[in-house]
Amino acid sequence: MSQFLIADDHPLFREALKGALSTKFADLEVFESENFDTTLQVLNEQEDLDILLLDLHMPGNGDLYGLIRIREDYPSLPIAVVSGSEDINIVSKVMSYGAMGFIPKSSSSDDIAGAINQILDGDVWLPLDLKDKVATVEGEDKEIAAQVASLTPQQYKVLQYLHEGLLNKQIAYELHISEATVKAHITAIFRKLGVYNRTQAVLIAAKLQLEPIESAS
């Protein structure tokens, strides 16, 4: 039996993709998750998953952070990013940071099935119109990705808020923690990223194309 995990925060898309896959793969079991935390929970509970179909923009994923962390924690699990965006810069980083495929959400069910089969065979997959345009990121960016993978989810949220220019007091309010805890997180972030101040941390965040996160309030 094949086991797939669809990680996407839109239930209608999950249902549509699940239905499409069920017509293309015999004896298929599909697991679903709607955010980064539930994705990690399923990954922890289901050790025989064949592939993860990952949406970059679901809650808690923090754009590239989810991919980087999952790739670090589950190095043998094939990951295909399924996205509504086809920005070449994003696709290049996604492939360089460990995805084995990039599948546009606009793809037909035949193309999606073909992509998954190719990935399950150990090959990478990209749409034909993107193959020649995708470039790999520099070694420095791969090193940054490895450093970011060492951050805890809470530390990553703090890094995102630093990127948005929030003060310690504001970060504490958003995360419902004390300013002392924020300072401790920032110290750990600096150490793990090998930087000495907020400006350097923000530059790293910018390289990973972090997006604004929703307020916790």
Q: What are the domain boundaries of the chain?
A: 2-135, 151-208
Provide the token pair at 63. Answer: 């754009």
| pLDDT above 50 (res 182) | yes
| pLDDT above 80 (res 174) | yes
Report the pLDDT value the prediction gives residue 213, as an integer from 0 to 100.
Answer: 46
What is the Cα–Cα distance from 79 to 71, expressed in whole angstroms? 8
CATH of domain 2-135: 3.40.50.2300
**Fold annotation for 151-208:** Arc Repressor Mutant, subunit A (1.10.10)
Provide the token pair at 86. Answer: 């086809």
Give the number of other Cβ atoms within 10 Å of residue 55's Cβ: 23
- Going through 8-127 in order, the beta strands assigned E by DSSP cover 28-33, 51-54, 79-83, 101-104
Please, which pLDDT band fits residue 209 given cuts at 50, 70 and 90?
A: low
| Range of lowest pLDDT (18-22, 66-70, 88-92) | 88-92
Report the pLDDT value the prediction gives residue 216, as an integer from 0 to 100.
Answer: 41
Proportion of the chain above pLDDT 70, given as a percent? 92
What is the Cα–Cα distance from 62 to 130, expressed in whole angstroms? 24
Left (φ > 0), alpha (ψ -120 to 50) or beta: where does 49 sit?
beta
